[in-house]
Every structure is written in C-alpha cells, then in structure tokens.
Chain A
Amino acid sequence: MGILKPITQWAANPWGQNVPIHIAWFLIWVAATAGLAFLIVHAVYLRYFARAEKFEGEVPQMLAAALPRRIPRHSLAARMFHWIMAAAMFTLLFTAFLPRVGIQFDWVTYHWIAGTVLTASVIFHVIHASLWLDFWAIWPDKDDVGDAKRRVRRFIGLPAPPPRRFAKYPLENKLYHGAIIVTGLSAIGTGVFMMSRVRTVFFPRNPYLFSDMTWGLMYVLHGLAGVGLIALVMIHVYFAVRPEKRDITKSMIFGSMRREFYLEHYDPERWHPELSRPESSRTDR
C-alpha cells in the first residue's frame, strides 16, 4: 500500500487496523490543475506552433457529388445517451467536489440519483452499442496505430507520409473513450456498492458487506476515478468548444455534419455513413 500513502487518508478502525478512508483531497486540485495545464499547453501549441493538418491523398470529388449536404453521424438514441450521461456526469462531479471546496449543500441524494441515472444510461449504451451499432468502431485498430506512427514521426521532424484520413473516430477519440471506460466504470462499480452505505430506495443499508480495508480501497478507487474524471471532463469540454471541432460538436446536437467537413477529415473507405437511413448510423457512439 506504500504507493497509496501519499495520495490517501488513513485512520485506525475500532480494531486497531490502519485502513484507508478516502483519497487525499488535494488531488482535486491536482486533477483540476492538470486538466487546465493540458488545455493551456494544447491551445498555445495549436495557436503558435502546429503545422496545418495534412492527410494522405486527395478528396475524391466524384464522391462529393454523390453525397448529401449533411452527413449523418449520430442517431437520436446515441445523442440522447450522450447528453443524459453528460448531465449525470456534471451532477456527479459538482455534488462530489463542491462540498469539498467549501460549498455546502445536501449533496448525497443528488449524487446517488445522478449515479443511478449514469449507471442506467451506461447499461443502455453497452447494449445499444453491442447489438445495434458497430461495436468495434470506437476501439483502436492497426490502421490507427500505423497512422499514429506517421503522425509522431512527422511531429518530431522525421520523414513520414501524411496519415490517412480518419475512420469515424480519430485515435485520440478512441483513447479518450478508453480512459472514460476505465474511470467511469471504476466510479460506477464502486459507487453501486457504496450506495449500500447510505439510505436509498434500492436496498437496505449494509455497512458490513466488506471488510474495512476493502471498503477503504473502494472509497479510494471511487475517489481516484472521480478526480480523474475532473481532468477528463475538462479536456472533453475544451475540445468540444474548439473552433476546428465545432462540426463534430454540432453533430452531437443535430446528428449530422457538413459534407465538406466529412470529406476533409474522414476516409469514406473507413467510415461510410448509411445514407439511406439519415437518422441512424451503425458506427454511432
């Protein structure tokens, strides 16, 4: 447990055992600072140092003529999931951390209700993505790795061809999704058990479900996932409001993106929207 000591708070339980009780609260500020530092560094890099985006090959003009003006990207169900999850996530973060920084209110009830909404929406998402969407569209594949190598080489000044245009989701998007899976499921998994420590409508309180050490580690994991989500959500919001990502953000509201943006950034071979059903796409996330 040595690695946990500096980032956790410990106490002696009634049996004299030293057990972790939760994360050290300074991690809230560490996460917020890390998130903010990322935004600043990224924004400065893009503003002053980044070269213009360049992809392999040309935009196929023949295809452009065959495409509608708007390219469907996210189905209504996928968009609803996203925004419900976002509302639940913001509620969870505000209710978890505002009281820790001195803004006191009745947070527990809102927290477990938002947690329940998030859990239900994630269960829906997993089923929806597994059965109705292209499950693998959000997972990195070997083309992503190849393109990542090209981009890294070009970034550090080594010779490499430009990367290919993206599939439906760029590698960064897929990695972010992976990070959200790890932190989100950690928070949800531990949070469901932690609900047995408070009075909810779901099950009777049972603080003896686990040993004090297990409970302590569960609180620590919940806390670490929570502060991790602070940074991740800050980064997500930052990219959502960046001007060059505006088309992607709008597609999460309206469901579709401009044809020009699609042709400029996406490879029709790797992501070919189902144009016959404008309100749905099997590659949705």
Chain B
Amino acid sequence: MAVIRDVMPAFELVQPTSVADAQKVLQDYRADAWIMAGGLDSFDWLKDRIKRPKVLVDLSGIAELRGIRTTAEGIEIGAMTTLTEVVNHPVIRDKFSLLTEGAEAAASPQIRNQGTIGGNVTQDARCWYYRSGWPCYRAGGNMCYADTPTARNREHAILHADRCVAVNPSDSAPALIALDAKFVMRTNKGERIVDAEDYFIGPDIDITRLHILKPGDLLTTIRIPYTWAGARFYFEKVRDRNVWDFPLLNVASAMQLSGNIIERVRIAVNGAAARPLRLKAVEDQVRGKPATASTGEMAGQLAVRGAIPLQFNAYKIPLMRNLVKRAIGGVEEAKWVS
C-alpha cells in the first residue's frame, strides 16, 4: 500500500500565464508533463509519490481559462472556472440548473472553491488498487486487482468493463452530457471540439486514461448550447455519505415535454463504467411516451441491460435501474409519506 509521505518528488514547476505558453510546455514535455488545474487530484498522486512527472504545469495563472461567458449560442465555461463559480452563476442556475446540481454535488464546499470544472471532468479514477500504486492495467501493468474473487470492488463498474473495472468519478460529467455540451481542446493540430460524451473513453479504447486528452493536449473550454435551456432536469447522486464523497452512481437527464409526453430527452449516468454513459437506447425508447413511473420502469430495465456485477457491487444494478426510473418518471411515488 502507498504511504502518504507529504513530500512530493522533485519536479520542475512551470506556471504559464497564457494557453499558448502552457501548450508550448506541454508539447515540449508531452508524457513527462503533468497538468494541474485545482490540484485536488494532482496532489494525491504527487504526495503519494506514485506519479513522478518531470514538469508540473500549473494552469492557475492563466486568466483566459477562467470565467463564464454568455454568447449568442449558449454559455462558455473556462476549464479553470471553479465549481463554486459554476454553481453560483446566475445564467447557469436559471437555464442549466442540471449543471448547478451536478457541480454542487461534487465533494465539499472547500473543495469546490478550489476544484475546477475542467479538473472535475478530467480527474482520474478513484479505484484504490490503482491509487495505491499497484501495477494494474490502468497503471500500465497486466492485472486488475479489483476484479478478482476476493477484491473489494463495491464502487466499481457494472457496465463496459474491459480488464479494468474502475469507474469515472465525475459528478458534472453526466450533467454536461445531458446538456449536450461541447468540449474545446487545444491539440498539436489546433483546436478540437468534441461532444461531451466523446471526451470520455473506456478501457477498451485506452486502459490508461479516462478521457481523450493525449500528452500535449489541453482542455480549454466547455460550451453549453441553449438547446436544452430551461428543460425539465433531473440530477441525483447516490453516495455513502451526503457530503464530500464520490458517487456510487449518479444520473442526469434533460427532457423537453409536450404536456406529459417526452418529446426530446438526453440522459446519462456515471459511476457505472469507466466513462459516463449516455443512455441512447433509453432515450430512443422513452421518446414519445408519457413521463410516468411506468415509462421510467421500462427505461430503468433497459438501462441496466448487459450489466455484469462483480463480487460486491451487484447492488448497483437495481440502484441504476431506479435512478433512471426516477430521472424519467419523477420521484413522486418514492416520497416519504409518514
């Protein structure tokens, strides 16, 4: 097991003041560079002396990566904008409250003051076998210590596992997928814009990363179009304690209704796989149907199709089924009556 030593390994600290400068350093050092946003994920790795980059690129001095701007098409959130700023922004609260809820569900107030939206969607897996520095698949080895008959895998994946069973821990990611956000990156080939759901990758594609950023790439902006502004949103996060904890599962949905009929819908869950999952099959099935508990029931059943539990996480299957059901049909039937 890793021992926290609190003394980080030596590295060169670079604090660029522009995206261009940051990108230059990242391109120069590529895999030897470590990008630090709020530092909440980074300091874990560094103080445990598991990650030993040659260069640490601290983005906190880049003003152009901070702030929230409204445009004709929607809003743009700089990757270094803190979660607290996202939570408190009036336009987001008014039109995209799904993101407000997702960002507010992350960690604790202190962490949200420091943690950034870019860091929240790009943070690494929390699998403790991986975080302990063991040579698992995700660390470049040939073993998944969490997927053995005796492993502690209560928090791990039930869907799309491929050798590695770690899950993505982000709370804002499913909200951004449901809002059809676009992620803007700077790569060595120029600017690249991808749909939020395509920013994340599973172990089948790359077992060592949770996202598509390659060495030298930088996430700069998240754009949310007005397409889903003011829609009926649902966000729910289930965790072991109600503050300062990663999700066991979370769900985010955006629905546009005509009467009670679902005209358009986007729904995503996280904590079930190594990437936040947009449930397209569910969206296709519930479109044109009433937003009721029975539709939600059907949606929940469909959402968990193909799920394979590990030794200790079978509870996630009914949990995900019920979260999806509530996201579609609402929670009225589940209210306490006593």
Instruction: Write the residues of chain A forming the contact surface with B, with a CB cutoff of 8 angstroms.
Output: 9, 11-14, 19, 21-22, 99, 102, 104-109, 197-199, 205, 207-208, 212, 215-216, 219
Contact = CB atoms under 8 A, between A and B. Distances in A.
B140 to A, nearest CB: 7
B19 interface: no
B142 A106 contact: no
Nearest to A107: B204
Interface stretch (B145-153, B225-233, B256-264): B145-153
10 A-B pairs closest in CB distance: A11-B135, A106-B204, A21-B141, A104-B206, A104-B205, A219-B142, A21-B142, A14-B134, A207-B148, A21-B135
A27 B205 CA distance: 22
Chain B interface size, under 10 / 10 to 19 / 20 to 34 / 35 or more: 20 to 34
Contacts of B204: 106-109
A198 B308 CA distance: 14
Given A14-B132, A205-B147, A208-B148, 7 more contacts: A12-B135, A21-B142, A104-B205, A108-B162, A198-B162, A207-B144, A208-B149
A106 B141 contact: no
Contacts of B1: 14
Contacts of A21: 135, 140-142
Nearest to A19: B135
Interface in B102-136: 132, 134-135
B148 A11 contact: no
B205 A106 contact: yes
A197 B205 contact: no
Contact of B142 (A12, A14, A22, A105): A22
A70 B308 CA distance: 58
B272 interface: no
Interface in B9-38: none
Contacts of A207: 143-144, 147-148
Interface of B: 1, 132, 134-135, 139-145, 147-149, 161-163, 201, 204-206, 214, 308
A3 B135 CA distance: 22
A23 B137 CA distance: 14
B205 A198 contact: no
A216 B141 CA distance: 9
Contacts of B147: 205, 207
A113 B216 CA distance: 34
B159 to A, nearest CB: 12
Contacts of B141: 11, 21-22
Given A11-B135, A106-B205, A108-B162, A215 B143 contact: yes
B299 to A, nearest CB: 26
B246 to A, nearest CB: 22
Nearest to A105: B205
29 contacts: A9-B140, A11-B135, A11-B139, A11-B141, A13-B134, A13-B135, A14-B132, A14-B145, A21-B141, A22-B141, A22-B142, A102-B214, A104-B201, A104-B205, A106-B204, A106-B205, A108-B162, A108-B163, A108-B204, A109-B204, A197-B142, A197-B163, A198-B163, A199-B162, A207-B144, A207-B148, A212-B143, A215-B142, A216-B142
A13 B134 CA distance: 6
A184 to B, nearest CB: 21
Nearest to B137: A197
Contacts of A219: 142
A104 B198 CA distance: 14
Residue with the greatest number of chain A CB neighbours at <10 A, chosen from B141, B163, B214: B141
A49 to B, nearest CB: 44
Contacts of B145: 14
Contacts of A199: 161-162, 308
B219 to A, nearest CB: 18
Nearest to B132: A14
A280 to B, nearest CB: 44
Contacts of A197: 142-143, 163
A166 B141 CA distance: 48
Nearest to A10: B135
A207 B204 CA distance: 19
B239 to A, nearest CB: 27
Nearest to A22: B142
